[in-house]
Every structure is written in structure tokens, then in C-alpha cells.
Chain A
Amino acid sequence: MNLLKMPKTKLKKHLYQLMAQSMAIQSLKAEERLEMQDKILGLPEGEMVKMVGILENEQLELAELHKRSLREMKEAKKLTSMAQSLRDAGRRFDKAFLTARESEEREESSETTRTLLDEIERL
């Protein structure tokens, strides 16, 4: 689609559609938006083509961002799940470590007690 060869009315229509879809323009206040739309549609044809370029670029960037967001969301879900597994495994490990140490301490304690009792009996 060669914008420079496009009839003026068609170009205006295309530009109008782009403006209606543009996040940049739609995020403006109503008055500002109308003023900007009027100014853009009143520009010479060459300048209108520039505007079309800017608005189409915005659409492309937004579409690219959307695609990337979807891709990242999928990846993030997967990573979250795996990170959670790792975190859970770490907790289980901590628990087992604690139990092993407590058991060791208990064993050491009972051994000490036994040693003390043996010493007492010997005396």
C-alpha cells in the first residue's frame, strides 16, 4: 500500500481509523483529542503520511509488546512452578537437616548421660 499514491479521502479515512485505535490519542482528554484529530486531518498530505507512519509504528510496537508479554507470561508460569518446586525441596531439606541434627544431638546427649551414669557406677 503506497501511501503517497493513495487518494486523499482514502488516506484521511485510514488516518482516522488509526487515530481511533491509537492508545496515545485515546489516552488524551476529550478536548485535546478532538483538537489534535482536527489538526492532524488538516495537515498537508505529505505530513499526513508522516502521521500515518507514527501511528502505524505505535500499533506495531504495541503488537510486539503484546506478543512478548504473552511469551514471557508463559515462561514466567513455567519458571514460577519450577522455582516453587525448588523452594519446597529446600524446605524439606531444611526440615530433614534439622531432624538429623536434633537426632544427633539427642544421641550425643544420651551418650553423655550414659557416660556419666557409667562414671557414677564406677565411683
Chain B
Amino acid sequence: MILCYNMRILIKTNLMHKYPPKLLFSQKRLVNVFKSFEELPKPTVEQKEYADLRDILLQVGELFKVYRSKVDEGMEYLKDKSEKDTPELKDLNKCLQEYQSCYLALFNHLKKNGFIDEKDKIIVPEEVATNEDIAQKTALQLKNALSSGIKEKAAFEKAGTKLGDQYNRLLADKNPLVGLTPEFLEGLGIKEPKPPEEEPVKPAISKDKTPAAAPAAVSPEKKLSRESPEYWAAFYRDITRKIIAKADTGEEKPLSSDEKLAIMLMKGGETMTIKLDEREYLLERDQMGRYIRIRDYKPTPEPDDPDFQKLLEASNPYICTSGKKERPPIWKNRAVSDVMLDKLDKGREEFDKQVSWLFSDSAPMGSKVVFSNILGREKVKDSADEKIHRVEVEMIKQADNSVRTRYLEQFLIKRGKKFLHEPGTVEKTSICADAEECRRLFARIIRPETNISAYAAGLEEQEHERRLYIDENMNKLAGNLNRASIFTYMNDAFKEWLGKMQAFIKDNGVENWKQKPEEGFKNRHVEVVDGKITVFKKNPEYEVHEKKLAAKQRKGGKTAEEAGPEEAPPLYLTIYPIFKGPEEGEEKIA
């Protein structure tokens, strides 16, 4: 009987794992198992690593069954022996009591901890997921979410392409967009667009040196109907203009909801071109579709670019009418020009090579390229007359596969000579750029400095002559021509700046144009008159008058209105149309 109990315990308990059924139930093994039962090491927590409560509870359940049968049998046995009082029976009685107390202790513990139900049966908790199960489940969820995310992105891009096509057609005025209903826009999370407001025209300054009267306000009847294609065309142009006004620095900027609409019309993560006011812009939307970068679609035109010449001629009657397209004397030296171009070409090749590598997969994050030798350290003919001009461009690959670009411009002039650029200035600028922006950086920042490398190549004498020449001519022109007009012929950088200024004024209106002191336009006002960029010089007497008037007001005199305009000197003393040629009798500089 005892053997039978032990066998049941053995089978039902964890020892099944140690002794597989085949071995356990072979006759020979069975005998061996029972012989060695008492010798089996007692399982400890550490050995058995009882992490699974389920196993223990199942074992306890079996122990309880065994207990009940044993106790019943023992009680039955002792019932007949109540009249006897042998030591063996006493011992049996004692062991039975111990057995019962152990059972009760375990039973009560289980009941207290909620492992025993109302029918006194052991509750075995359900199997819980393992770490691996959770990891597998998560991996599956991630894969599903990833595939749905990619699908959603593709669908979004597809929708963007479709809308982008419509948008392009709209901008081309071939097939005006009429399908965008307010509901559709709401679906995109965008409020119904308001018709673009007519911007008040700034009073132009007439040639009689007094500002012209402001035009009458636009009448409400002239407002466009929402049904009309012009309304939508104007709406999108307005948005695009706003976006363009925000952009160009390469920085990521948050957009308004209206501007987001324009982005909705683009392909995510890609680029599209839009045409606005006869200019093309390249719009870039990042992968997240959250920010936008806008750049001039066409790179900065080269001075020899026929388009640029056309642009220049179109806005420069002096060049057109005089037919003088030749370079000023200093630039007639082809050798100088060739040296510069050679250097530029070599620099460009090297730059392109290095930048391509930096953006390739083979360049790990943090890779650095320094372009200190594009222009290099140069010496003049006479080694004693050493002048160093160095432009250093440092590019470091970022984690997001862009490149952080820093350029360091250093002028070290050992011998005191006056040059166009201030000596000893050190500039450090850092921008985050993609490959295209790096090329622009090269074109915009390094390129204009090429002429400085030409000085270092032994041309400072000629440069000095050039400076003298400019100064002399400036004096001859007696201040009637703006200094900038001379630079039109002399300085490529100015040409570039001029092109940008024109574009800016066309796009944004002249009132938004802000001159920078370094551009040589101090105390001047730039405006477009009859389609020409015109510089107005402020009358210094007007400032004196203003000061006097203010002083009078403080002392209780007339106000500006009371004083009337007749007492005030003109605000603008002289008008300088930049592209108008010299006045009669004045000497041309080229």
C-alpha cells in the first residue's frame, strides 16, 4: 500500500521530468526507483527553481488526494484498535496528528491566499505569457504597424502626387483647380481658405521728389468669387508667397495651416517646383511632411550665363543702350581670369568628389572633410610680400545623413595695405546642409572669394590700381551715381546680390526690402519705379528739419500737421535709378 502511495506521488510530482515514463514504468526501473526513493535528494527551492506556481499547486493537489486516502485508511485502522494501547499505535496516532496539522496548515495558507475555492478545490491560475511570448507578440505588432505605416505613407504620397499635379496645372493656369470643396479641405484638417487680401499699394515716389498719393482702396465688389478659378489661383499664389517669404535659410520652420495645404499638394519626402511670378522655386518636404524648405529652383546664375545676362540687360538700360558688355580693364586680363577659372574648376571637382563621398554610405557618422586647400595659402611674387587668404570649409556628417557645414574665413595680411576686405576678420558660420545646399554654399560663399585668391596669386598691384581707378571715377561722377552702380561692373558678388534684390522686391514688395549696411546703401531707400529698381537718397536736411520740429514741439510750437508740408524740405533729395546710365556730360566708367 505504501509503495502504491509513493508511486503515485512519484508519478504525479515533478519527478516525472527526471524519470521519463518509459523508464519509470519498466519493471526493472520501477523496482530501482522504489528502492532509491528514500535516498533521493530532497528538492530545494534553488534546485527546482520553482518559478511556476502552477506546478506546485498541481503537486499540492495530488498530495492532498494522497493525504485524504491515507488518513481515511489510518482512521479506519485505529478505530478498531481503540481498546489497545501499544507503543506502535501511539506512534501511529501521533504521526497521524502531525500529518493532519501539516495538511491543515497548508490548506489554510492556500485558502487565505485565494488558491482554494468554495468547494475546497485548489484553484490553479492560468498560464501566463513568458518574456519570449511578449517579445514575439510585440514583434508581430511592430511588423503590422510598420507595414500599415508604410502603406499609409505611400497612400499619402500618392494623394499628394495627384493633388500636386492639380496644383501645378492650376499654377500653369491650364486647368484651374475647381474640385477642392470646403469639405475636402476640412478633411485635410484645413479651414476654408479666405480670399487673399489685396495688398495696399505703397505710394510711389514721383520724380518731383514728393511721395505720390495712395491709390483708392479696393472695392468689395472686386473681390473674387470662391467659385472662380482666379480665386483659387490667387489663393495658392498667396500661400506660396508666404511660404517662400519664410524659407531659404535651410532651417526647418513650422508652417501655418494654410501653408500646410500647399505641402499637402506635394509628394512627401520629395521635391516639386512651383512657378510664381515668372520664377521657379524648388519646394522640399521632409520625410515627416512637417517642414518645408524652399530654394530658388535655378542655381545662382553665373555671370557668363546667357539667362543672367538677359536678366541684367532687361533691367539695365545702360548696358543695353550703350552696347558695352565688355569687362572693365582690370578684367581684360584673360590670364587672370583663366587662373581663377582653373582654380575654381579644380576646387569644384575636389569639392564634388569629397561631398559625394561624405553623403555616401561608406562615410560613417562624424566623418569630416576640410576644404582648406580649395583656394589655399598663396604667396605673392615677392616672397617678402606675403599675404595669406584662407577659406576653410569644414563638413561633418551628421546622424541624420545631413552634413554640418562650417566655414571659416580668415584674412591674414602681414603687410599693411588697403584692400577691399577688412583684414583680420574671422567669421564662423555653421549650417546643417544636404548635398544640394553644400553645392550652393560652394557657389555662394566660396565662389565670390575667388577674386581674393586672385589677389593672393600676385594681383594686388593690379587690384590696387583697380581701387584707384574706381575712386577716381567715383569722384568724376560727383556722387550722382550710386557707388553700387560702379560695382555692377566690378563685382560679381554685387551682381549676384543685385539679382537677389530684384527677385526679392518682385516677390515681396519693396516695402519689405531691408538694406544691410554692408551693402553700401546707407541712408538710401530702394524702390521699383516704372519697373526699375531705383535708389532714393534721404535728404539730410529733412532730418535736421525733423529734429528742429521736435524741439519746437517740446517747447510748445506747431505740430507737424500744423506746420504743413510746405515748411518741410523734401524727404528724398535725389533719385538714383541704379540702371540708368550716367547723366549727360558725365564720363562713363567702362
What residues of chain A have their CB less than 8 Å away from a CB belonging to chain B? 8, 22-25, 27-28, 36, 39-40, 42-45, 47, 50-51, 54-55, 57-58, 61-62, 65, 68-69, 72-73, 75-90, 92-101, 103-104
The answer to whether the Cβ of B106 comes within 8 Å of any Cβ in the partner chain is yes
Cβ contact of A58, chosen from B91, B109, B135, B288, cutoff 8 A: B135
Stretch from B52-60, B194-202, B276-284 contacting the other chain: B52-60
B359 within 8 A of A: no
Question: For residue A69, which residues in chain B have a CB less than 8 angstroms away from its CB?
Answer: 51
Given A90-B67, A97-B2, A99-B88, 19 additional A-B pairs, CB 8 A: A24-B135, A27-B135, A43-B146, A43-B149, A44-B152, A57-B138, A58-B134, A75-B53, A76-B45, A79-B53, A86-B60, A90-B66, A93-B74, A93-B99, A94-B2, A94-B6, A94-B70, A97-B73, A100-B92
Interface size band for B: 35 or more
Q: Do residues A76 and B53 form an inter-chain contact, with CB atoms below 8 A?
A: yes
Closest 10 CB pairs of A and B: A47-B149, A24-B138, A76-B50, A58-B138, A24-B139, A96-B95, A23-B135, A96-B92, A89-B99, A100-B88
Contact assessment for B43 and A47 in the assembled complex, using a CB-CB cutoff below 8 Å: no
Nearest chain-B residue to A28 (Cβ)?
B139
A90 to B268, CA, bound (A): 75
Nearest CB in chain A: distance from B100 CB, A: 8
**B420: interface (CB < 8 Å):** no
The CA of A28 and the CA of B142, in the complex, are separated in Å by 12
CA distance A90 to B52 in the complex (A): 24
Contact residues of B between 37 and 77, Cβ < 8 Å to A: 42-43, 45, 48, 50-53, 56-57, 59-60, 63, 66-67, 70, 73-74, 77
**Cβ-defined contact, A90 with B136, below 8 A:** no
- Please tell me which one of the listed residues A36, A42, A68, A103 contacts residue B142 in the complex, with CB atoms under 8 A apart: A36
Q: Could you name 5 residue pairs across A and B whose Cβ atoms are closer than 8 Å?
A: A44-B156, A47-B152, A50-B149, A85-B105, A101-B77
Q: Which of A88, A89, A99, A101 has the most CB of B within 10 A?
A: A89
Q: With the chains together, A80 CA to B50 CA distance in Å? A: 8
Q: Kindly state the separation between the CA atoms of A94 and B71 in the bound complex, as whole angstroms.
A: 10
Q: A22-B138, A92-B99, A94-B5 are in contact. Are A86 and B67 (CB under 8 A)?
A: yes
Question: With A and B bound together, what is the CA distance between A77 and B44 in angstroms?
Answer: 9
Indicate whether A39 sits within 8 Å of B146 (C-beta atoms), given known contacts A58-B138, A90-B70, A97-B74.
yes
Q: What are the residues of chain A within 8 A of B515 when measuring CB–CB? A: none
Is the CB of B96 closer than 8 A to any CB of chain A? yes
> Contact: B142 with A86, CB < 8 Å?
no
In contact, A45 and B149 (Cβ under 8 angstroms): no
Residues on the B chain within 8 Å of A62, using CB: 131, 134
Q: Give min CB distance, B114 to chain A, whole Å.
A: 11
With A40-B146, A77-B45, A96-B95 as given contacts, are A47 and B136 in contact (CB-CB < 8 Å)?
A: no
Closest B residue to A84 by CB, please name it: B42
Residue B214 is within 8 A (CB to CB) of chain A in the complex? no
B138, A36: Cβ atoms under 8 Å?
Answer: no
Q: Pick the contact of A44 from B53, B95, B288 — CB < 8 Å?
A: B288
CB pair A82–B91 under 8 Å, yes or no, is no
Contacts of A51 in B (CB 8 A): 142, 145-146, 149
Main secondary structure of the interface of A (DSSP, over half): helix
User: Which residue of B is nearest A54, CB measured?
Assistant: B141
For B50, the closest partner residue in chain A by CB is: A76
- A72–B53 CB distance below 8 A: yes
What A residues does B88 contact at CB under 8 A? 96, 99-100, 103-104
Which B residues are in CB contact (< 8 Å) with A97?
A: 2, 70, 73-74, 77, 92, 95
Given contacts A44-B287, A100-B91, contact A87 B9 (CB under 8 A): yes
Q: Which residues on A sit within 8 Å (CB–CB) of B57?
A: 79
Give B40 Cβ to nearest chain A Cβ, in Å: 11
Chain A residue numbers with a CB within 8 Å of B148 are 47
* CB-CB contacts below 8 Å: B97-123 with A: 98-99, 101-103, 105-106, 109-110, 113
Report Cα–Cα, A89/B142, bound state, in Å: 53
Residue of B with least CB distance to A23: B135
* A87 in contact with B134 given A24-B139, A25-B142 (CB within 8 Å): no
Min Cβ gap B49→A in Å is 9
Min Cβ gap A111→B in Å is 13
Task: Check B150 for interface membership: any CB of A closer than 8 A.
Answer: yes
Q: Give complex CA distance A93, B50 in Å.
A: 27
> B129 near A: Cβ within 8 Å?
yes
- With A8-B288, A24-B138, A27-B139 known to touch, is A86 a contact of B99 (CB < 8 Å)? yes
Residues on the A chain within 8 Å of B335, using CB = none
- B110 to nearest A CB, angstroms? 8
| B288 close to A54 (CB less than 8 A) | no
CB-CB under 8 A from A81, the residues of chain B are 45
Q: Establish whether residues B134 and A65, one from each chain, have CB atoms under 8 Å apart when the complex forms.
A: yes
Chain B residues near A100 (CB-CB < 8 A):
77, 81, 86, 88-89, 91-92
Residues of A within 8 A of B288 (CB): 8, 44-45
Given contacts A27-B139, A76-B50, A98-B2, contact A92 B134 (CB under 8 A): no
Taking A80-B48, A86-B106, A87-B63 as contacts, is the C-beta distance between A65 and B146 under 8 angstroms?
no
| B406 cross-chain contacts in A, Cβ below 8 A | none
- A103 to chain B minimum Cβ distance, whole angstroms, is 4
